[in-house]
């Protein structure tokens, strides 16, 4: 079952000169896929995730999500899609500083139309954060914040998880646990698109691609 499809996506940045990280990107993401997108830093991998998460609009090409043309979505429709359908595990994700970790998770869950405190507590335990539940974001270490972002990405049962270098700031144990959790989600039918420059974790995916010169190419096994 298809979740989303990108066809001939182009994205330009105009910063004095035109920079085009995505020149002609096509990708079909189906239910249960675990896709790793590899490539060096600064090549456009994060831009791809931003387009897929409707945080950036492409300059050319088409993007459909569950059969609907995203270009025709208004701001409210995009916000609803992000709140209910997409889980973000981004490097620059932030939490609401005035709320505790548990309150942040409950808030994100509520925006997505759910209210399940038990699920919040289960995720806090799963990611080793139960003793940090009442801490504010500034009281968490870098690794704890990364694990909190992973919990937040799952809190509303998304159909698609977009993960940008999800193991950054994590030790070996928690890196393995994050990858294990992502794989478990795909077994439940959630699709995962993970950006990484770490070939070890990319090997855990069921499909590996590389972004090269603005084009996405499959990596032969």
Taking only the tens of pLDDT, the chain with its 221 residues reads: 999 999 999 999 987 888 899 999 999 999 999 999 998 888 899 999 999 999 999 999 999 999 999 999 999 999 999 999 999 998 766 889 999 999 999 999 988 888 889 999 999 999 999 999 999 999 999 899 999 999 999 999 999 999 999 998 889 999 999 999 999 999 999 999 999 988 899 999 999 999 999 999 998 76
CA angle 120–206–148, rounded 5-degree value:
20
Whether 209 and 27 have beta carbons less than 8 Å apart is answered as yes
CATH architecture group of domain 2-218: 3-Layer(aba) Sandwich (3.40)
Q: Which of 149, 112, 156, 109 is nearest to 129 (CA)?
A: 149
Domain assignments of the chain as residue spans, ordered by start: 2-218
Whole-prediction pTM value? 0.93
Paired with 18 in beta bridges are: 14
SS3 35: strand
Token code pair at residue 197:
């420059």
The Cα 34–Cα 175 span in angstroms is: 16
């Amino acid at each position: 079952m298809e979740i989303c499809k990108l066809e001939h996506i182009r994205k330009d940045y105009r910063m004095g000169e035109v920079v085009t990280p995505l020149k002609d990107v096509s990708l079909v993401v189906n239910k249960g896929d675990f896709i790793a997108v590899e490539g060096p830093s600064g090549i456009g991998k994060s831009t791809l995730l931003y387009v897929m998460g409707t945080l950036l609009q492409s300059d050319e090409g088409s993007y459909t999500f569950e059969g609907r043309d995203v270009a025709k979505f208004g701001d409210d429709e995009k916000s609803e899609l992000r709140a209910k359908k997409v889980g973000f595990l981004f490097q620059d994700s932030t939490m609401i500083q005035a709320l505790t970790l548990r309150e942040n998770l409950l808030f994100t869950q509520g925006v997505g139309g759910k209210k399940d405190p038990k699920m919040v507590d289960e995720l806090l335990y799963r990611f080793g954060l139960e003793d940090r539940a009442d801490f504010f974001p500034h009281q968490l270490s870098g690794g704890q914040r990364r694990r909190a972002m992973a919990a937040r990405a799952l809190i509303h049962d998304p159909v698609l998880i977009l993960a940008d270098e999800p193991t950054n700031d994590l030790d070996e144990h928690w890196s393995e646990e994050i990858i294990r959790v992502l794989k478990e989600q795909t077994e439940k039918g959630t699709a995962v698109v993970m950006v990484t420059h770490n070939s070890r974790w990319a090997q855990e995916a069921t499909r590996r691609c590389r972004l090269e010169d603005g084009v996405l190419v499959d990596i032969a096994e």
